[in-house]
Amino acid sequence: MIHQIDINECEINNGGCDMNANCTNTIGSYECTCKSGYYGNGIECLSCPENSTSSLSTISILDCKCDLFNHYPDHQTSTCLLCPLGFLLDEISNTCQSNLF
């Protein structure tokens, strides 16, 4: 019977995960997930815009939720922007949608 020894990659340099990520050891591997307030693939984590929050393990800026009414996270400016006149924030897609329908 062969016994496999699992190496905890997370013990050295956070497993190569971003400093704003959690490293989770798994049998034969590891996983990187961005901490709350950040988004990305875990190897690279970017901060959600000011006045926004995210849940753990988000991969897109669209997973960051702006705290202000009718605001959406903008990836180009890394800020929360107000939806244009005539548009409302769709809470599910986290994007501005025309409210004319």
Tokens linked to 22: 């959690």
**Exposure on the CB side of residue 2, measured as CA atoms within 13 A:** 2
Fold of 9-98: Tumor Necrosis Factor Receptor, subunit A; domain 2 (2.10.50)
> What's residue 49's pLDDT?
85
Q: What does the domain layout of the chain look like in residue ranges?
A: 9-98
Which of helix, strand or coil describes residue 85? Answer: coil
pLDDT at 25 over 70: yes
User: Which amino acid is it at 23?
Assistant: C
pLDDT at 23 over 90: yes
> What's residue 55's pLDDT?
67
Q: What is the pTM of this model?
A: 0.69
- Tens digit of pLDDT for each residue in 35-73? 888 888 999 998 888 888 876 667 777 778 899 999 998
Tokens linked to 21: 């990520």
